[in-house]
Amino acid sequence: MLDIKFVRENPDIVRENIKKKFQDKKLPLVDEVIELDKQVRSLKQQGDELRTKRNNISQTIGMLMKEKKVEEAGLRKVEVVKINEELVHIEEEEAKVSAILKEKMMVIPNIIDDSVPIGKDDSENVEVEKFGEPVVPSYEIPYHADILGYFAGLDKEASARTSGNGFYYLMGDMARLHSAMISYARDFMINKGFTYCIPPFMIKSDVVTGVMSFEEMGAMMYKIEGEDLYLIGTSEHSMIGKFKNQTIDEKNLPLNLTSYSPCFRKEVGAHGIEERGVYRVHQFEKQEMVVLCLPEESMDWYNKMWSYTVEFFRSLDIPVRTLECCSGDLADLKVKSCDIEAWSPRQQKYFEVGSCSNLTDAQARRLGIRARGENGNYFLHTLNNTVLATPRGLIAFVENNYNEDGTISIPEALRPYMGGQEKIYPKNK
């Protein structure tokens, strides 16, 4: 959410930013929020003037009572009663208009960074850099569901009976490999100086609206019926929410946190749920990184964070690339974002395995997260990035480490989490 003062003083910048995000339908909001802000400030002024008047009359009443001018004091008390009644009306109106203003302000997108490429959707995202050689072996790489099947590692028929489409059972070596990757991701981030956390897997609605846009919320979140609780789509939600309405001494910044959680997503939209494999599913597990920092340090942290994910995947012999998200592909709270994509030797193209985002003070402003400095309090900056989301990460791993004889090699970094094994062997091939 933008600062209303910024909107008031820079309406043309806000309008141009809306155009860059191809959200022209939101252009009228700029004039609407400026008018609502004017009303709120006018009501505040009226209220302040009435309170000042009431205080002055109250002092006069005190003097009159001392002078035993009871009748005149009584008349003044009647004035105070009328002022109080008028104040109640003004305060109710101010609260009503302020709520409408906040609702509209939360729909206006954050100001994107100057470096963000302009484009309508993800088809216009821009490749930045490749890491590792994208190899296409001389032998065939099977579809990932088939690879998992060779190891008796995937059962979607059973999950269809228990849970429906979009769920899965991982079994045996594939389940162990999945957990090994998550454990390695956890330790990888701890070794980078991040504090490990396991957060709540459900959050209240005011946290949901604090960390994401309304459009994302509707497409992603599962609501718990009859309760003010939502299943998290990523642990970033509850990790940022942890600091709701808190003021953090800037001497304690940055806060570097890495969190594990299951994630639950509706996956509403054009992509749909994958019928056969486990690329797009309703439930997955994730190791996340979250940083709360000084405003002047957020872009440095952004670049560190995506580089950690690149380093993680390269340590597993998986080639990756970074893709700069264009303006139309940025969620409304994001100022800058890049996707980390892993190489698929089967498809001979890259696919998304993570995303790094800088939201500057948007989430902090919505949730009231401030830093305390020598010159007063201010909103800090928040960033998030995927270390590993799996089974999508598992897909990248099995494809890139699949051998011609059907075995899967275990890179050195992962062996301690796989009982020292250098390879795992198929059961059904």
* CATH number, residue 396: 3.30.930.10
Domain presence at residue 317: yes
Q: Which of 105, 132, 149 is the last residue of a domain?
A: 105
Tell me, yes or no, whether 63 and 208 share the same domain. Answer: no
CATH of the domain at 48: 1.10.287.40
| pLDDT value at residue 272 | 58
| pLDDT value at residue 216 | 75
Domain presence at residue 114: no
Domain presence at residue 337: yes
Domain presence at residue 154: yes
Please state whether beta strands 195-197 and 255-264 pair in parallel, antiparallel, or not at all (unpaired).
parallel
Tell me, yes or no, whether 283 and 339 share the same domain. Answer: yes
| pLDDT value at residue 428 | 77
Tell me, yes or no, whether 194 and 261 share the same domain. Answer: yes
Domain presence at residue 138: yes
| pLDDT value at residue 217 | 77
Tell me, yes or no, whether 284 and 404 share the same domain. Answer: yes
Domain presence at residue 274: yes
Tell me, yes or no, whether 217 and 352 share the same domain. Answer: yes
pLDDT by position in tens, the chain (length 429): 899 999 999 999 999 999 999 999 999 999 999 999 999 999 999 999 999 999 999 999 998 988 888 888 889 899 999 999 999 999 999 999 999 999 999 999 999 999 999 999 999 999 999 999 999 999 999 999 999 999 999 999 999 999 999 999 999 999 999 999 999 999 999 999 999 999 999 999 999 999 987 777 777 899 999 999 999 999 999 999 999 999 999 999 999 999 999 999 997 554 556 678 999 999 999 999 999 999 999 999 999 999 999 999 999 999 999 999 999 999 999 999 999 999 999 999 999 999 999 999 999 999 999 999 999 999 999 999 999 999 999 999 999 999 999 999 999 999 999 999 999 999 976
Tell me, yes or no, whether 195 and 96 share the same domain. Answer: no
Domain presence at residue 358: yes
Total domains present in the chain: 2
Tell me, yes or no, whether 169 and 36 share the same domain. Answer: no
| pLDDT value at residue 276 | 81
| pLDDT value at residue 167 | 94
Tell me, yes or no, whether 79 and 133 share the same domain. Answer: no
Q: Which of 105, 134, 159 is the last residue of a domain?
A: 105
Domain presence at residue 100: yes
Tell me, yes or no, whether 62 and 137 share the same domain. Answer: no
Q: Which of 73, 105, 137 is the last residue of a domain?
A: 105
Tell me, yes or no, whether 148 and 188 share the same domain. Answer: yes
Tell me, yes or no, whether 233 and 334 share the same domain. Answer: yes
Tell me, yes or no, whether 191 and 129 share the same domain. Answer: yes
Q: Which domain holds residue 283?
A: 122-424
